Structure 1
């Protein structure tokens, strides 16, 4: 079957090739309505499909960005990706999402694949362990934005939560409800993932500021698969924590599984606050108090900063960190503790 070309469209619509090209690139400010209608009809009648590869070579742009998330199972990853897609769609871009599973090897592999596909820019939830590759892209002035995390010593724009404040909000709420033995569980910090480190730091600072003891056996950072075992150890102590702060949504899910499996009552047997406002938090029984991130605003900002870099409207050192405020969502998994 003969491939339909832009020349065929131009001949059918009785216009020049350059006019069709302007139409395809949405540059029709001075194009009459009847001309646009003729071109549209010609495209529809002939079944013309633009050659994306040829256009990319000519424009030196694929109109595509790559997004490498740390873990697609995170509620945060899903919501920010949705916001990024909104900005891409509005800007005439497409996006490719890759899941690195917090694995530096997978992350490096996906970065190299996306660069080979000549995507115009990248949004990465960095593992932190590909410093040479990050620096190489930075040195080459390649459009790059970090999301959720920063990497020490790599001056790349990062869109992040005020993570220490998120933990502080959780601890403050528990203190106001008369809880004194407060623990925290988060996913592994072995790779120095910045939001996890900051949330643990915020938790410790809040305990210190409120004059509460910081016990090493009340705080732990483990893989998601070990959260329930870690919680069992904590609750098996002679003086177990009365409340637990879950460092992210995956930890919260594991804690709630443990609660159900052991027939614990929230908040009577254990008070729980999760950082990340997961979709089920409001209709779980009882509804779970959380500290919410403005996920859509963060995703939108990440995409807009990247688009500015792609369009050379923003220089790298103009601003590095974009921090967003957390919000405490008060529900029923924390209540006033009876003073005995």
Structure 2
């Protein structure tokens, strides 16, 4: 079967090749509705398939972007990825999503692979470890946006939340409910978000003149989390409330509490920093620090598209605020 060309479509529709090209690129400004309908009918009748490779070579764009997620298992990351994919789909662009597992080497390989595929730009949840590679992209003017995390001394537009203030407000809520022995549990302090959340925790304690105790501050990888929690609740004065640094930590806390007959909301108050879709369905319902994932994804996509289109973009942080949803896990006022 002979390949159907743009010239065949033009002949069938009774228009020029340039008019068909304008139609395919959705440039309808000077095109009548009748002309559009004729071209569309000709495309469908002939079964014409545009040559995207040829078009990308001509336009020097592939209409593809890369998204490198730190850990796709996090609900927040999944929600942002969905928002990004929706945005680019609406703009007739394809998104390639890669999961780096917070691994420096995987991140590097994905960056190199995606650039080899000539994607038009990258949105990265950075590990923070591939500094020279980040710098080389910035130096070459390659479109990049950092998502969720910051990297010191790298001048890239970043979309983040106010982790420090959000955690401070959450800890203040616990203090207002009578808690003075409050712990925070995060994964290893290798990225900006976890560091900022610990700083917000410390800010709240300091402003309320409560002691900042190392034994109440856990940072661990997930496989070792249960052992760390056991140590935490084995101290002479165990905490009466706890802030879980993300959804994966929350699951470890739930497993530990169940195995050790610790009742959430009674023996220990609990706040989770992450978007938990079932937080209001479990018993007791869980107080969460919610992040505006959809809005963050849309903003990052806008920033990347502007760079791809050679528009000026300020290389600064776009900071979103979080919202504390108070539920049963912290509503009971603690009495000493």
TM-score, normalised on structure 2? 0.97
Q: Number of aligned residue pairs: give it.
A: 336
Q: Which moved more, 1:143-152 or 1:259-268?
A: 259-268
Within 5 Å, give how 1:236-315 maps onto structure 2: 236-315=234-313
Structure 2 SS opposite 1:334: helix
Q: Deviations over 1:217-242 (max 9, x none)?
A: 11111112222221111011111111
Aligned-pair CA distance for 1:338: 4.0
Match of 2:56 in 1: 56
Aligned-pair CA distance for 1:138: 0.1
CA distance in 2, matches of 1:144, 1:22: 29
Match of 1:91 in 2: 91
CA contact (8 A) 1:146 1:158 kept: yes
Match of 1:200 in 2: 198
Match of 1:337 in 2: 333
CA distance in 1, matches of 2:113, 2:141: 18
Q: Deviations over 1:302-327 (max 9, x none)?
A: 11111111112124xx2411111111
Question: Which sections of structure 2, spanning at least 5 residues, go unmatched?
Answer: none
CA distance in 2, matches of 1:20, 1:150: 45
CA distance in 2, matches of 1:296, 1:144: 19
Aligned-pair CA distance for 1:14: 1.8
Aligned-pair CA distance for 1:171: 0.5
CA contact (8 A) 1:184 1:245 kept: yes
Structure 2 SS opposite 1:159: strand
Matched, 1:75 2:75: yes
CA contact (8 A) 2:155 2:315 kept: no
Aligned-pair CA distance for 1:92: 2.1
Q: Deviations over 1:265-296 (max 9, x none)?
A: 12111111000121111111111001111111
Structure 1 SS opposite 2:18: helix
Aligned-pair CA distance for 1:263: 2.8
Match of 1:30 in 2: 30
Q: Deviations over 1:126-161 (max 9, x none)?
A: 001111110000000101000000110111111111
CA distance in 1, matches of 2:161, 2:71: 17
Question: Which sections of structure 1, spanning at least 5 residues, go unmatched?
Answer: none
Q: Deviations over 1:38-58 (max 9, x none)?
A: 111111111111111111001
Within 5 Å, give how 1:171-250 maps onto structure 2: 171-189=171-189, 192-250=190-248
Match of 1:167 in 2: 167
CA contact (8 A) 1:143 1:309 kept: yes
Q: Deviations over 1:104-144 (max 9, x none)?
A: 10000000011011111100000011111100000001010
Match of 1:327 in 2: 323
Structure 2 SS opposite 1:333: helix
Query: Cα RMSD over matched residues?
Result: 1.2
CA distance in 1, matches of 2:15, 2:224: 67
CA distance in 2, matches of 1:334, 1:81: 31
Structure 2 SS opposite 1:244: strand
Match of 2:116 in 1: 116
